[in-house]
């Protein structure tokens, strides 16, 4: 497993769609923020997340006191409410991870893929995950994420 997952206060999450954009939240201060894709050349430093391990493969993912959770099919960061727990599972075939709801592992993070969608609305979606019928299973790149850590 070349891309090991671990609890961290300095995790960088990026999507496996074209250009491998970073996942992050805007630097504004309302109580709720969208979790977006950022082209690598659009940010000076990659956004950081806190990965708090709360179970075997279960994590609470937050950034700057904003806890990630689903709201009407979209991934948001919120200062209010309870933190959502995410099951993060390694997919050997893709050398990447899927991030699914702890209580419904068939639903998880999905990066927008349509170029127009990505330009106008780069928000991470929370949708039904597609699994290709193969052994090991195949997942589309917009459902795959990798993690890097800064010490």
Closest CA to 47 of 98, 17, 85, 11: 11
> What's the mean per-residue pLDDT of the chain?
89
Peptide bond into 121 cis (omega under 30): no
- The domain limits of the chain are 8-149
Look at the domain 8-149 and name its fold: Trefoil (Acidic Fibroblast Growth Factor, subunit A) (2.80.10)
Collapsed DSSP state (helix, strand, coil) of residue 125: strand
**Cα gap 118→124, rounded to integer Å:** 10
Query: pLDDT tens across 28-58, in order?
Result: 778 899 999 999 999 999 999 999 999 999 9
pTM of the model: 0.87
Q: How many CA atoms lie within 13 A of 33 on its CB side?
A: 20
Judged against a pLDDT cut of 90, whether residue 110 lies above it is answered with yes
């Amino acid at each position: 497993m070349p891309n090991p997952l671990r609890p961290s206060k300095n995790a960088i999450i990026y999507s496996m769609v074209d250009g491998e954009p970073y996942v992050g939240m805007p630097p504004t201060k309302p109580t709720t923020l969208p979790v977006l894709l950022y082209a690598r050349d659009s940010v000076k430093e990659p956004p950081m997340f806190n990965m708090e391990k709360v179970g075997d493969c279960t994590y609470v993912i937050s950034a700057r006191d904003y806890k990630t959770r689903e709201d009407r099919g979209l991934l948001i960061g919120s200062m209010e409410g309870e933190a959502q727990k995410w099951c993060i599972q390694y997919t050997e075939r893709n050398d990447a991870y899927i991030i699914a709801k702890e209580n419904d592992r068939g639903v998880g993070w999905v990066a927008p893929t349509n170029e127009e969608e990505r330009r106008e609305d780069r928000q991470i979606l929370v949708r039904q995950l597609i699994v290709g019928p193969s052994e090991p299973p195949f997942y589309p790149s917009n459902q795959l994420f990798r993690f890097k850590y800064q010490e």
